[in-house]
A and B are shown apart, each in its own frame.
Chain A
Amino acid sequence: MLLLIFFVGKERYGIDSRKVVEVVPVVNCKPVPHAPSHVAGLLSYRGDIVPVVDLSALIGGAPARHLLSTRVILVKYVGADANEHILGLLAERVTETLKCREEDFKSPGFVASAGRYLGDLYIDGEGMIQRIVVEAVLPEELRRSLFAEAEKVADALSAS
């Protein structure tokens, strides 16, 4: 199993590479009005409208800085309508991968209601890496509204 590593502050987090579609450089996103602050905006990817969530803002509370290593991780997940969707995750220092085994992950034993997207912990020589549960990053209501917005944008694009 390959884990894509990123940083929030000085803490390392990881995303299962099987969920990753592609890692792309940061491009200008279209902002979504009235959305929570950790929603960075909407992104066009190969004809699809992808909502982007700023993980630094979500986990660390501060928006991600514009560095060369700050990138958008495009992940796929299955929504409530059983269709597969793509979600953009904005994160800092996305430059490394880590090879690891599924059995070595351990539950943290404590999960806050607002932090259900934070998964099991993996320990290597440099400390702990927490895995992000991609499906739990967006709450249902936000996801619905975001994808609705994305469909509207997609309709507008196709109409033009």
Chain B
Amino acid sequence: MKIKTKFMLAGTTFCVALSVAAVWVDSYFLQNIFFDQYKEKARILLYSMRAVRAHTGTVIRPKATELIGEGFMTELQSTSYAANGVFAKIPEENRYGLNFKTASIKPRNPGNRANEAETELIKLLDELHIKGKEPVWQGFRQLNGVENYVIAVGEVNKPACMQCHGRPEEAPEGMRKLYPVAQDDGYGHLPDRVESAEIVSIPVSAVEASVDRLRIYSALISIFILTIALVGINYFLNAIFRPVRRVTDVAQQIAGGDLQGASESLDSYSEGGSRPSEQVEQRKKEPDETGKLLNSFNIMAHNLNSLVGQVQNSGIQVTTSATEIAASARELEATAAQQAISLNEVSTTSNEIFATSQELAGTVQQVAGMVSGTATLAGQGQNGLADMEQIMRRLVTATTTFSARLSTINEKANNIGSIITTIAKVADQTNLLSLNAAIEAEKAGEYGLGFSVVAREIRRLADQTGVAAQDIEHMVTAMQSAVSAGVMEMDKFSEEVRRGVEEVTGVGGMLGQIIAQVQDLEPQFEAVKVGMQAQSAGAQQISEAINQLSEAAEQTRASLQEFKDATVQLNEAVQGLRSEVARFRVGGA
């Protein structure tokens, strides 16, 4: 809610409350004053009416009694009549709502008969008189069901009065004629008592209506004054708050970051426009508080504009720098990581080299040992080969001899074969002969029987011989083929043995070369071993150095990580600053 509105609301509330209080107090006092006035009026009327009655009773009635004598003339002699008449002659608009009545509980005039409330009032006055007090009563009272202000004065029955109102027999003749005792209530008054009273009354409602009217006037006047006051307040508030609102608008623009708009607004207030410029000029001439405020705002906006511009530029630069730094840090980190990896690899490799060279040294030593063993074995092998060569040469000789023997066996077998063939032929011939003999013996009949037996026996022997010869022939043939196979095998064997001898000779030569080379190798192996050990030591040193380097690289990487984190934080901070500053719209500063 605007301050002006608050001011307006507060002023209005205050004024209205003040007005209401004023009207209330006013009406209270007015009511009292009115009532006092009405009481005064009622008193005046009452005492006027009593004066009329007194005048009539003391001046007019004795004169009239002198003039008319015995008779009674109401118009001249009745005090109440005179009073009623005078009151009736008062114009209605000048009565101010007041009523006057000469009430009596024993009236001669029926119009004056007291009603119930008046009778009570008269009794009250009578009691006051009896108690020795003035028979006067004033106050609020119900009359005919309506609240009234009443002032009443009781009429004490004096001896003069008692002439006409006392006992009827003491009344004048004319009176008795005029008001016959039987029909009239005006007789029988008791001496020194109050039996009638002059009553002036006015309904409270009438008074209040007047008061209300007055209140309405008062309220209208209050509203009028209030309106004028509010218009005045509004004018003054405007005079105060218009520049404040402008400053507020500018401040809102600044708060919203629109520094350019704020600057333009301030410029338009100070340069453009007719009324503001006049005001500003006026303020420049004679600067009041708002003028000073506007000037200060203008200066502040310009300063802020340039400052924010600078901050934005700086922020951009810082962001760029931070981004570059971050990128560099990342690159550096990547490089460091790669370096670490490379170092690890190198370390691993050097370790492997170390291990391998150690293994190799061991292996070389083993190989050296094996080479020595090989040389020895080769020497032994050469000797063995020489022996073997000798043996093989002997074997070749033996094989040749064996071949020759086999050939001889073959020839012998051939001889046996021819003999066997001869035997077989002989057996065949014998068989043939025995067949023919058997046939001839058959032809000879009984004479040839014995011969037939001989022939059969011969044929059996021939058959057995043939079979045996055949067996021998088979055996010889088998032996011959075996011998020829053996000869061929032996030839092949002797050939192989010859080749074996050549190979053994070659191998022996090669073994000699090997032995020589191996013997040459031994000192070289020693050199290799020494070199290997040196390499192993070097590899170990490299590995240690690399390990140190790797630790250093790891530390570098950790430092870089911290640096990168710092850069990221810086970047975030700058981003935050930039996003904050970006809310400001900056003019061409």
Contacts and interface: CB of A to CB of B under 8 A. Distances in A.
B424 interface: yes
Interface residues of B, number: 16
Contacts of B425: 68
Interface in B406-459: 424-425, 428-429, 431-432, 435-436, 438-439, 442-443, 456, 459
A15 B172 CA distance: 240
Contacts of A71: 432
Interface in B567-586: none
Contacts of B459: 95
Contacts of B439: 2, 4, 17, 20, 22-23, 97
Interface residues of A, number: 15
Contacts of A20: 439
A38 to B, nearest CB: 23
A95 B424 contact: no
Contacts of B456: 97
A67 to B, nearest CB: 10
Interface in A11-41: 17-18, 20, 22-25
A99 to B, nearest CB: 9
B443 A95 contact: no
A145 interface: no
Contact of A68 (B428, B435, B442): B428
Interface in A58-85: 68-69, 71
B463 interface: yes
A106 to B, nearest CB: 22
B442 A95 contact: no
A17 B437 CA distance: 11
B422 to A, nearest CB: 12
A160 B369 CA distance: 105
Given A17-B443, A18-B443, A97 B438 contact: yes
Nearest to B425: A68
A17 B436 CA distance: 9
B309 to A, nearest CB: 135
Interface in B471-513: none
A97 B428 contact: no
Contacts of A24: 432
B424 A17 contact: no
A138 interface: no
Interface of A: 2, 4, 17-18, 20, 22-25, 68-69, 71, 94-95, 97
19 contacts: A4-B435, A4-B439, A17-B439, A17-B442, A22-B436, A23-B435, A23-B439, A25-B429, A68-B466, A69-B428, A69-B431, A94-B435, A95-B431, A95-B435, A95-B459, A95-B463, A97-B435, A97-B439, A97-B456
Given A17-B439, A23-B436, 19 more contacts: A2-B442, A17-B438, A17-B442, A18-B443, A20-B439, A22-B436, A23-B432, A24-B432, A25-B428, A25-B429, A25-B432, A68-B425, A68-B428, A69-B431, A94-B435, A95-B431, A95-B435, A97-B435, A97-B439
Interface of B: 424-425, 428-429, 431-432, 435-436, 438-439, 442-443, 456, 459, 463, 466
